[in-house]
Amino acid sequence: MSDLYINEDNQSFYASRPESEMTPAGVDAVVDAAAEFPVTGIAFCINVQRALFESAVWETFYGDYDPSAGPEQPAEWRRHGARNLWLLAQRGIDHHARWLARCRHHGIEGWLSMRMNDCHGLKEFMEAEDGKETHWTCHWPSTWWREHPELRRAPYRQERSWEGAFDYSHQIVRDHHMNLVREALERWDMFALELDWLRWGMMFAPGKEQAGLPILTEFMRETKRLAEASAERVGHPVKLAVRVPAEPRTCLALGFDVPRWAEEGLVDMVILSSFLGAANFDHPVAIWRRLLGPKVKLIANAEGVARAHPGGDLAQAGWVESAAFTYGAAAAALQRGVDGIHLFNHCPSKLLPGSETADHLRAVYRNVSDLRTITSRPRRQAVTHPQVSAPGESPRNPLPLPLTAPNIGVAFGRMEENITLRIMLGPKPATGAVRLQLGFSADTPPLDPAAMTVRINRTICAPCSEPPVPTTDAPPGEVARVLLYEAPLDALQDDINLVEFVPPQVPGALVWAEFIVDPEAGGARN
């Protein structure tokens, strides 16, 4: 069993639970629910652009709430539990302190998580300022952010919230965020503090990211000094973790010199993650091990939402969700040797009575960090992209690929008409069935699977029609046509498998590819 880290986010408990649970027992119940499962640590979010507790240094999410004003007031317009946060404060309940204490009671690592540049509602606020109809998150930005547009990384643009992110090249911005770091480390007795750099990940004005490398390293040094002082106060080590993009070069391109942080002993754990919780089946674990050395714990995020390419918005057809993806992403990362699995926003408060996702979450908590268990379950191993990239950097998505090669070049990834895909399988299954599912765009004409020779690691695969169990969760909606091929088990190998085929030279594109693994299915060719 490997380590499992989960987090309680900025709104799940406050927004979904009734006022009657804003009590000491109601707060404790969040950790009690998680303690039934093999959870190593829980990170509790302390902020968005406003603090989620009675802070002495930051504006709070609920500080302007007036219980006599009714629903027509900014705090209510923010939704997501402003009243419940106010009730906790009025009742003298330090919910973060209770969560940390309850973790100690159960032998769980109690973490706090600080979002280093949260941008919820920034675009929406600017749209509302322009008189446009917008989303209720427009009420989330802090007063300080609203009053200081000169501190934003790209104030001349507003098409996405990242343009409004704070620019850490300003000393006053760093001081503002360090004040919250200091308050957390001086106030609470925690196992560790997580700096969540992926909320939202862009810390500097366009073109200033490289100049930001030493700036954020100095920020980490100061955080380490504060953590050491906190350790003296509480009588035990206070560790530091960072949640960062999965690709080392993306980290460096955004200003996160994670290798130097490890070299200087500024971090104890690195969590490789995506921004919106999209599954990554190709974490570069070996590279990170060389960069970080043996003392830093390496954790990989595993998610149930898969996306082959960055096109479209969140609600469009490029997304598909399935627990089989969570198991697949975890299997791929654990097979490569990460120390544990991280689940982002799979909040333990969602285990509490009345939650629609409780049964699903219990199964994931129980299974996801145990490689032997997840490889005995149906899983899906898809071709996706790492999601997070720096401004101007290639998003590195292999798909979509036009069936007709637009030109004959010298790209090793596609030599002339041939399409080659790398699919990360995790451990090779010894029994059951593995099928290759290829998905094509709507403008693709009908294809004859028998007329297309598909190879996996040079071995020819026979067409088949019946997918195994996990395809009760369908491919993305953009997939209009599907071809299925049986993958001979003796042709498969641990980790990277090469799929090759020469498609017919017709309109359309390959937009999806995955292995569907069912260890208990019969009929696999060996």
CA distances from 345 to 155, 273, 341 (A): 29, 12, 13
Indicate the average pLDDT of the chain: 94
Which DSSP category does 88 fall into? Answer: H
Q: Which of 382, 413, 434 is the last residue of a domain?
A: 382
Confidence of residue 342 (pLDDT cuts 50, 70, 90): very high
Mean pLDDT of 56-75: 94
Query: Does residue 472 have a pLDDT over 60?
Result: no
Confidence of residue 321 (pLDDT cuts 50, 70, 90): confident
Query: Does residue 445 have a pLDDT over 60?
Result: yes
Residue 338 shares a structural domain with residue 427? no
Residue 41 shares a structural domain with residue 188? yes
Task: Name all contacts of 492-495 with Cβ < 8 Å and 24+ positions apart.
Answer: 492/425, 492/428, 492/429, 492/434, 492/456, 492/457, 493/425, 493/428, 493/457, 494/335, 494/425, 494/426, 494/427, 494/428, 495/332, 495/335, 495/336, 495/424, 495/425, 495/426
> What's the pLDDT score for residue 526?
37
Which tops the pLDDT comparison, 52 or 474? 52
Asked whether 34 and 6 are in contact (CB, 8 A), the reply is yes
359 located within any domain: yes
Mean pLDDT of 311-340: 81
Query: Does residue 231 have a pLDDT over 50?
Result: yes
The tokens for 182 are 């200091």
Residue 356 shares a structural domain with residue 415? no
Residue 202 shares a structural domain with residue 158? yes
| Distance separating alpha carbons of residues 115 and 262, to the nearest angstrom | 20
Confidence of residue 352 (pLDDT cuts 50, 70, 90): very high
> What's the pLDDT score for residue 316?
45
Residue 363 shares a structural domain with residue 416? no
Which residues lie below 8 Å from residue 43, measured CB to CB, with a gap of 6+? 5, 6, 7, 8, 111, 112, 113, 194, 241
Q: How many domains does the chain have?
A: 2
> What's the pLDDT score for residue 473?
62
387 located within any domain: no
Cβ density class 330-367: b for 16+ within 10 Å, e for less: bbbbbbbebbbbbbbbbbbbbbbeebeeeeebeebbeb
Mean pLDDT of 301-315: 77
Q: What is the Cα 107 distance to its own chain's centre? A: 25
The tokens for 42 are 């829980």
Instruction: Give, in degrees to the nearest 5, the angle at Cα 435 between 342 and 375.
Output: 35
| Distance separating alpha carbons of residues 332 and 340, to the nearest angstrom | 12
Q: Which domain holds residue 503?
A: 401-518
Confidence of residue 524 (pLDDT cuts 50, 70, 90): very low
106 located within any domain: yes
| Distance separating alpha carbons of residues 516 and 378, to the nearest angstrom | 8
Residue 429 shares a structural domain with residue 341? no
Per residue in 139-156, pLDDT (tens digit) is 999 999 999 999 999 999
390 located within any domain: no
Q: Which of 382, 410, 441 is the last residue of a domain?
A: 382
Residue 453 shares a structural domain with residue 345? no
525 located within any domain: no
259 located within any domain: yes
Residue 247 shares a structural domain with residue 304? yes
Mean pLDDT of 55-81: 92
Choose among 140, 339, 368: nearest CA to 241: 339
Radius of gyration, CA atoms only, the chain: 24
Asked whether 135 and 78 are in contact (CB, 8 A), the reply is no
DSSP letter for each residue of 477-498: TT--EEEEEE--GGG--SSEEE
393 located within any domain: no
Confidence of residue 319 (pLDDT cuts 50, 70, 90): low
Choose among 111, 241, 115, 270: nearest CA to 189: 111
Per residue in 353-412, pLDDT (tens digit) is 999 989 999 999 999 999 999 999 999 999 999 999 999 999 999 999 999 988 887 778
CA distances from 11 to 27, 73, 349, 399 (A): 13, 19, 10, 34
Per residue in 157-184, pLDDT (tens digit) is 887 899 999 999 999 999 999 999 999 9
- β pairing state of 192-196 and 239-245: parallel
Q: What is the CATH number of the domain that holds 455?
A: 2.60.120.1200
389 located within any domain: no
Q: How far apart are the two ends of the chain, measured CA to CA in Å? A: 30
Asked whether 476 and 320 are in contact (CB, 8 A), the reply is yes
Per residue in 402-438, pLDDT (tens digit) is 999 888 877 788 888 999 999 999 999 999 999 999 9
Q: Which of 382, 409, 429 is the last residue of a domain?
A: 382
Residue 295 shares a structural domain with residue 171? yes
> What's the pLDDT score for residue 315?
37
Residue 370 shares a structural domain with residue 405? no
DSSP letter for each residue of 208-243: -TTTHHHHHHHHHHHHHHHHHHHHHHHTS--EEEEE
| Distance separating alpha carbons of residues 297 and 304, to the nearest angstrom | 23
> What's the pLDDT score for residue 313?
40
The tokens for 428 are 């090779």
> What's the pLDDT score for residue 523?
47
Lowest mean pLDDT among 199-213, 298-312, 492-506: 298-312
Residue 277 shares a structural domain with residue 369? yes
Q: What is the CATH number of the domain that holds 193?
A: 3.20.20.80
> What's the pLDDT score for residue 297?
99
Residue 421 shares a structural domain with residue 338? no
